[in-house]
Amino acid sequence: MLIVAVVVVTVAAGVSLGLLATGDNGASAGSEQRRSAPGLSEAASPSAPRQAPTPTPSPTRSYPLSTAPRTIPAVTSHTAARGPGWRPVKGERVVVNDKGLADEGRLIAGELGLTYAGEKDDVRAGDVRLTLKGDEGADPESYSMTVSGGRVTISGPGEAGVFYGTRTLKQEVHDGGTAPEGVVRDAPAKPVRGFMLDIARKYFTADWIEDRVRELGDLKFNQLGLHFSDDQGFRIESTSHPEIVSQQHLTKAQVKKIVELAESRHITVVPEIDSPGHLGAVIAAHPDLQLRNVNGVATRGAVDISKPESAEIVDDLLNEYAGLFPGNQWHLGGDEYQALVVSNPEASYPQLATAAREAYGSQGTVADLATGWLNDRAATVRAHDRTPRAWNDGFFRNTSVQPDKDIQVAYWTGKEIGARVPLEYLREGRKVINYNDEFLYYVLGEPQTFVYPTGERIYEQWTPRVLRGTTAVPATYDDQILGGSFAVWCDLANSQTQAQVADGIRMPLRATVQKLWDAGEPKLSWAEFKALADRLD
């Protein structure tokens, strides 16, 4: 009876010790103890030699599987893993494998309180390593981020992708957060993710614009449009035509600083000098260029495109600013030329009709002449290796002169006279950028039928295929839609202050980039998305 009791106590002790030691894989060391229980019974017999007890391993901490990071925009995929994740600790390093990543490395190091250590091959605890990897044909804006072993590695085929990885990391650890263990693989759905600002009708300070550049960079936008010439003002210093520049304007030095800041965030600044309409500031200094109708009445904002001097001054400006804006994109405008909103342009503007016939034969029209103007301006910026774009109502039906094939369509409205439905452009094979005024136009003062767009409506109802109104074009055309741009227009400039504009566009910008980065249905509800934005700001 005594011997049996000893055996029971010993086995029970072995089982309880084994249950205490649990590894990361969930397997209990007690399973080994239980398999050796018969041996312990034999050892308890008087005839068996006494053996030393087997050491029990110390308990190992077990982590639950990580959850995907919550960021704006959401990451494309996350492979979960077990581990503590990563948090920045002052003095730990950011290292790179290529000097081309120095700017990205210095930026994230400064933001997280780390030390930028440059190009290093050694591995230390707590490191953030930025890596360029050769991956021919991969999206240069894609990246992967691995959090493992107390370190972070962000790699991508291009500097832009690595930069976006640092933006994800910055959001993950915001306000004491932890970058979750595992692997993020991420890439944008659309290559154009833009924000356009009308600085012609309303002067915005350089500091305010720089703040927006930083905001856009953290949200993974990659284009900033500057509409700086219109009837109300011309807002950037000019050496070729200083007489047209408004009193309140940005100097070239200020613009250069904005452009450099944008480049450091992988944002291309897209300039726009709208023509042949919306040139009131130029006309104010050159009234002889203003378009007049058959009765001699001036046409607001429009230059007379039958006059060679009109083309010369616009080309002077395009050539001048090509040196200030080094990006590969240029917006030519082309919208709302008032000669083409009357019932009979040829009768109303006989000088334009004459010029059209001289240029394109007896059947030439004012629409042909305007199309030729657009093509000529496209040729001017193309000589500087720029890809041109123009507003959709600068493309006309039934013209003998066709817009150049490489001019991208900035589709904003179906409300203008002669506006064509999006499918007409898509069926022609044109590339289209979505500026849908139903969702993406923030027009100061809400004139006409405009209302301030909400982030909630964009988040729940808009996609890049919703080019006009609220109806999406067929998915077969998705690849021709390069992306989209949220736009601020300052029709009633004093309706809001700069601070009010920044506050008003905050959630619409976040909703827009979410829909441009991730092609899928958002996983968060609007309330959850807004709460996330509030936490990350």
| Alpha-carbon gap, residue 345 to 362, rounded angstroms | 15
Q: Is the peptide bond before 59 cis (omega within 30 degrees of 0)?
A: no
| Alpha-carbon gap, residue 314 to 373, rounded angstroms | 11
Helix (H) or strand (E) holding 402: none
Helix (H) or strand (E) holding 319: helix 308-322
Placement of tokens 């005594």 in the chain: 2
Q: Is residue 475 packed enough to be buried (19+ CB in 10 Å), middle (13-18) or exposed (0-12)?
A: exposed
Beta-carbon count within 10 A of 445 CB: 15
Q: Is residue 429 packed enough to be buried (19+ CB in 10 Å), middle (13-18) or exposed (0-12)?
A: exposed
Give the three-state DSSP class for 329: strand
For residue 277, what are the CA distances in angstroms to 71, 243, 399, 482?
42, 19, 19, 26
DSSP string of 301-318?
EEE-TTSHHHHHHHHHHH
Secondary-structure percent of the chain, ordered helix, strand, coil, rounded to 5? 40, 20, 40
Beta-carbon count within 10 A of 427 CB: 11
At 83, the amino acid letter reads G
Of the residues 92, 172, 272, 336, only one is catalytic, namely 336
Beta bridge partner(s), residue 115: 93
| Reduced 3-state DSSP string for 413-457 | CCCCCCCCCHHHHHHCCCCEEECCCCCCEEECCCCCCCCCCCHHH
Give the three-state DSSP class for 390: strand
Beta bridge partner(s), residue 290: 303
Phi, psi for residue 356 in degrees, rounded to 5:
-65, -40
320 is catalytic: no
Q: Which pair of tokens denotes residue 91?
A: 């003095």
Q: Which pair of tokens denotes residue 289?
A: 């260029």
DSSP string of 117-153?
EEE-----TT-EEEEE---TTS-TT-EEEEEETTEEE
| Of 167, 107, 95, residue with least CA distance to 132 | 95
| Alpha-carbon gap, residue 397 to 400, rounded angstroms | 9
| Alpha-carbon gap, residue 519 to 68, rounded angstroms | 18
- Catalytic residues, by residue number, are 336
